[in-house]
Amino acid sequence: MAQTPEKSLTTLTKFLDNSIENFTKDVPGVQQQIFRRVQLLLRDLDLRKGSVKASVANLRKINRIKREIEQIILSDKYLGEVEAFTDAFNKTTDLQTDYFKLLKKDFTTPKFIDTLRQASIANTRAALTESGIRANVVDKAADIIQRNISESASFGDLVEDMRVFLTKTEESVGALQRHTSQIVTDSLNTYAREYNTVVADTLNSQWFLYVGGIVQGSRDFCIALVKKKWIHKSEFSQITKGNIDVDNDGDTEKVSLDGLKPNTTATSFQTLAGGWSCNHVVAPINEEFVPKKLRARFD
C-alpha cells in the first residue's frame, strides 16, 4: 500500500514516542539505587538525640553525597543511553524529510536543519549529563540535606525528604525522572516541530495537521486539537487563546490553556504546540489532502 502523508506522520510520532520511552524506562531503577546509597551515606552524619547536628562537619559531608549521586547517574550505561537517544535526532531528520517528499517530490532538506539538529543534540546532551544533572538533581538534593542540617531536623525527616525528592511516590515521579522525561520529550518533539516550521514558512503552508498520541495526563488543549486534526493557519490566533473549533463545524469551544508555555502565540504555536512535555507535532499539509468540505470554509 502506498505511503500517505498521514501514515508518514504516524511513523514519525511513533518513533518519537518510542525513543523517549526507551530512554526513560530505566530511570526509576536508577532513582532507587541513588536513594539506597544516599540512605547509607546519611548514616555517617553526626546526630544528637535522633536529630541531625547543625555542624560544620556535617555540612562538609554533603560534598561526598553529591559526588556519589552524580557517579551513580552518570554511569557508562547511562551515558551510552544518552548517546543512543541523541542519535534519534538523525532518524527524526530522515523521517521528516521522507514526509516532505510526499508533499513535494523535489524536496531537499534545508541547510539550516543540519545546524538546528547539531545545536539540538548539543543542548540535549548537556541537559542530560553533567550540567543538567547537577543543577536539577545533585544540587537540589544537597540543598535538602543542608536545610535539614541547618534546622537540626530529625534524621527520620531528612531520610523521608530525600525519599520524596529522589524516588517515585504518589505525589511525584522523582527528581531524575522528572528532569530527564521533560528534557527528552521537549527536545526531540520540539526539534521535529522546528523542522516543520522552517519548511512550512518556505512553502507558505496554510493547512496543518495536529498529530500524536493521547496518553494519561494529556492536556485538554492537546486532546481537543488531536480530535480537530485539521487546522488552517488563520485559526492559530484563536487556538492559542483557547478557542478551538474541535468539530470543524465553525463553532469554537473554550479549552483550558493549562500547561502551555507563556510565550505561546499564533507565531510560536507551530514550535511550542501544547507546551511542556508535549508529544504532538504541528505538521504542514498540502491543501489537496484536506477534506473538500472543510477547505470550502476557508476559500
Indicate whether 172 and 246 sit together in one domain.
no
Q: Give the long-range contacts of residues 135-141, CB within 8 A, separation 24 or more.
A: 136/175, 136/179, 137/69, 137/73, 137/175, 137/176, 137/179, 138/66, 138/69, 138/70, 138/73, 139/66, 140/165, 140/175, 141/38, 141/65, 141/66, 141/69, 141/165, 141/166, 141/175
Could you give phi then psi for residue 285, rounded to 5 degrees? Answer: -140, 145
Q: Quick one: pLDDT band at residue 215, thresholds 50, 70, 90?
A: confident
Residue 249 placed within a domain: yes
Give dist(CA 23, CA 26) in Å, integer. Answer: 7
Can you give the pLDDT at residue 2?
67
DSSP 167: S
| Among 177, 159, 242, 236, CA closest to 20 | 177
Q: Quick one: pLDDT band at residue 103, thresholds 50, 70, 90?
A: very high
Give dist(CA 245, CA 164) in Å, integer. Answer: 41
Residue 190 placed within a domain: no
Give dist(CA 74, CA 78) in Å, integer. Answer: 6
State the total domains in the chain.
Answer: 2
Can you give the pLDDT at residue 1?
54
Give dist(CA 32, CA 174) in Å, integer. Answer: 10
Residue 95 and residue 11 in contact, taking contact as beta carbons nearer than 8 Å: yes
Query: pLDDT averaged over the chain?
Result: 95
Q: Which helix (H) or strand (E) holds 232?
A: strand 230-232
Indicate whether 258 and 163 sit together in one domain.
no
Indicate whether 70 and 174 sit together in one domain.
yes
Indicate whether 159 and 27 sit together in one domain.
yes
Give the residue-averaged pLDDT of 262-266: 95
Give dist(CA 173, CA 205) in Å, integer. Answer: 40
Indicate whether 17 and 161 sit together in one domain.
yes
Residue 200 placed within a domain: no
Residue 18 and residue 95 in contact, taking contact as beta carbons nearer than 8 Å: no
Percentage of the residues of the chain whose pLDDT score is greater than 70: 99
Residue 67 placed within a domain: yes
Indicate whether 131 and 16 sit together in one domain.
yes
Cβ burial of 196 (10 Å; 0-12, 13-18, 19+) is buried
Can you give the pLDDT at residue 55?
95
Residue 198 placed within a domain: no
Can you give the pLDDT at residue 15?
97
Give the residue-averaged pLDDT of 283-299: 94
Look up residue 47 and give its amino acid.
Answer: L
Indicate whether 141 and 286 sit together in one domain.
no
Residue 124 placed within a domain: yes
Indicate whether 19 and 105 sit together in one domain.
yes
Indicate whether 249 and 167 sit together in one domain.
no
Indicate whether 176 and 215 sit together in one domain.
no
Can you give the pLDDT at residue 216?
85
Q: Quick one: pLDDT band at residue 39, thresholds 50, 70, 90?
A: very high
Give the residue-averaged pLDDT of 265-278: 96
Give dist(CA 211, CA 151) in Å, integer. Answer: 50
Please check the confidence at residue 149 and state whether its pLDDT lies above 70: yes
**Total residue length of the chain:** 299
Residue 20 and residue 185 in contact, taking contact as beta carbons nearer than 8 Å: yes
Domain that holds residue 176: 1-183
Can you give the pLDDT at residue 299?
82
Can you give the pLDDT at residue 130?
93
Residue 188 placed within a domain: no
Give the residue-averaged pLDDT of 238-261: 96
Q: Most distant CA pair in the chain: distance in Å? A: 78
Give dist(CA 282, CA 211) in Å, integer. Answer: 7
Cα–Cα separations (whole angstroms), residue 50 to 25, 45, 62, 156: 37, 11, 19, 8
User: C-alpha grid cell for residue 136?
Assistant: 536539577
What is the pTM (predicted TM-score) of this model?
A: 0.93
With H, G, I as helix, E, B as strand and everything else as coil, classify residue 20.
helix
Q: Quick one: pLDDT band at residue 52, thresholds 50, 70, 90?
A: very high
Give the residue-averaged pLDDT of 212-220: 91
Indicate whether 4 and 89 sit together in one domain.
yes
Give the residue-averaged pLDDT of 22-36: 96
Residue 52 placed within a domain: yes
Indicate whether 63 and 162 sit together in one domain.
yes
